[in-house]
Amino acid sequence: MIPILDFQRRATTGPVMKADDFDIDFAMKVRELVARYDIKYDPEQLVVDDRTADAVFEAGVDLLAEIGLYMMDTQRVVKYTREELLQIARESQEMPANAVLGRGKDRMSLRYRKGTDTWAPTNYAGGGGVVPTDYFIEYVQSLVQEERVKGTGMVACLDRLGNVAPQAGTPSEVHVALWEQDALKEALRRVGRPELNLGLLCTVSTVGGTMAMMTPGLREPHNTQIGVHIMPEQKLTWRSLLLAQFCELRGIEPWQSSMSCIGALCRDAADTAVGLIANGLGQLSYAHGATMSYYPSHLEGTWATRDAHWAFSAACRASERHLGVAAGTAISGDKAWRTPLSLWQSAGMVVASVPSGMAYTWFAGHTGLEARFVGEMMDAVTGLSRERCNELLQKIMRKVEALKPTVPSGHIPFPDTYDLKTMKPKAEYEAGMRRVMDELASMGMPLK
């Protein structure tokens, strides 16, 4: 573990470098390491084997040790030794994650999980995306009324409250976020789960705004996580360190999130998997958190693809075998939320991630109905062998790839999917989603 002030010292004394030069060093080094460790993306084996997972971990350690992190505020590189990074990994492994969130009967935990464990990942729903005030409460309610949902990992956020937009670093971001917290609490109250964890604080993004929201009765250590992540690729600012320090002092579980882009500085899934591990280790070095979302995305913003599944699996399995964090990701569609395509894409992600050691999932765009179905899928896949998952995943991805070009881009509005008075899914909507579940069962997913 590197004390935060030691991290600051490195960030203010490390080698001076232009951001462009750092980018080129990063890209060239990750390519070199992928070749050195013989890491190869295989679209037919999306849940990776042990050798690949180990190679991705070693390459990730080397990448961070040889390239470091780029501190954008000082234009210096934060350097590590390989031994330090291995020590950070050992410390994480020796204390497997068990982050308890929520309170009383609404307690939940995010625990380190192996792909072979027979307990299913935590359904850390949320909803994600931008939702208008008109039906914000009902949208959240649709999720938290589901028994399978144990917390709201990444809640939906607002981009406007009346005429006020939440402007970072101004009172308006706090003003809008306060309405959002009240709305979240109201949704929890309606379903009788008042102490449920509210997850990542999204609508405020600055250090000051975040700290302002940490108020008794609103956001507190038992019901919140705060984002402290590194930007892709390997860049950060003082913001991450200040918030990590705040989390440490206040006993808040930091939201660590490792993201890397396929097709940008990383050429492909193999480069991206290595980048995810290096990014994740970088966050552990200063934030010391228990949870880590791994999130590979294509440059154009898609993520429910074979490449992204492979990159996630490689990073998650590397993490499972060498770190003790609870690893998570977003399970969702990437083109048309609240359509059968999004459930098919989610099925692919479930089958790729559960046997890879995913410990929790948050959502983007799903309603409570999909949260329920994704929960059923996670139960079904838990305990299946890697080989069987790979076989099933091929069938699902073929279906996704055939369906995707036929579905127009654009999300179905939530009010078209749920009756906002009864808070039940509309019959036609539910029937469409059930057909996906039936077809998954016929493909061999052992749904109960």
Partner 1 sequence: MSVTIQEIHDAVWQLKKARALELVKEAIAAGLDPVEVLQKGVIAGLRVVGDKFGAKEYFLAELVMGGKVAEPCIEYIKPFLPPNAEGKQGTVVIGAVTGDLHTIGYGLVSTQLELAGFEVHKLGIDLPSMYFIEKAQEHKADIIGLSAFLVTTIPYCPEVIGYLRDMGLRDKYKVIIGGTECTADKADAMDADGWALNAVAAVPLCQRLMGKDVGEEAQLATTHSHPWWYNSRRN
Which residue, 273 or 290, is less far from partner 1 as judged by CB? 273
Give the x-and-dash track for 171-210 against partner 1 (CB under 8 A). -xx-----------------------------xxxx--x-
Extract the runs of DSSP E, i.e. beta strands, from 216-348. Answer: 225-227, 235-236, 253-262, 291-298, 326-331
167 binds partner 1 (CB under 8 A): yes
Q: How far is the CB of 102 from partner 1 (least distance, A)?
A: 26
65 binds partner 1 (CB under 8 A): no
CA-CA distance, 320 to 314, in Å (whole number)? Answer: 10
- x-or-dash string of contact with partner 1, 243-272, rule CB under 8 A: ------------------x-xxxxx-----
| Lookup: tokens for 179 | 């309405």
Q: Least distance (Å) from partner 1 to the CB of residue 167? A: 4
227 binds partner 1 (CB under 8 A): no
Identify whether the C-beta of residue 293 lies closer than 8 Å to the C-beta of residue 257: yes
- Shortest distance, position 240 Cβ to partner 1, whole Å: 9
Minimum distance from residue 52 beta carbon to partner 1 (Å): 22
The helix (run of H) or strand (run of E) holding residue 424 is strand 424-425
- Part in contact with partner 1 (CB under 8 A); list of ranges 20-28, 135-143, 212-220, 430-438: 20-28
The interface region with partner 1, picked from 22-30, 94-102, 326-334, 426-434 by CB under 8 A, is 22-30
Radius of gyration for the alpha carbons in the chain, expressed in angstroms and rounded: 21
State the binding string over 111-150 for partner 1 (x if CB under 8 A, else -).
-------------------x--------------------
Q: Which of 1, 24, 402, 431 is the binder for partner 1 (CB under 8 A)? A: 24
Site track 70-109 with partner 1 (rule: CB under 8 A), x = hit: --x-------------------------------------
Find, among 121, 115, 61, 119, the residue nearest to 85 by Cα.
61
By the 8 A CB rule, do 151 and 125 touch? yes
Place of tokens 């966050």: 283
Round to whole Å and give the CA distance between 448 and 442: 12
User: How many Å apart are CA 173 and CA 201, to the nearest integer?
Assistant: 12
- How far is Cα 78 from Cα 235, in angstroms, rounded to an integer? 10
Tokens representing 306? 């074979």
For residue 231, what is the DSSP state?
B
Q: With binding defined as CB under 8 A, does residue 35 bind partner 1? A: no
Q: For residue 180, is the peptide bond before it cis, meaning its omega torsion is within 30 degrees of 0?
A: no
- Close Cβ partners of 318 (under 8 Å, ≥ 6 residues apart): 53, 54, 56, 57, 60, 273, 277
Pick 47 or 154: Cβ nearer partner 1: 154
End-to-end CA distance of the chain: 44
Interface residue with partner 1, options 300, 405, 406, 448 (CB under 8 A):
300
Q: Summarize as ranges the residues that interact with partner 1 (CB under 8 A).
A: 19-20, 23-24, 26-28, 72, 130, 157-159, 165-169, 172-173, 203-206, 209, 231-233, 235, 237, 239, 261, 263-267, 299-301
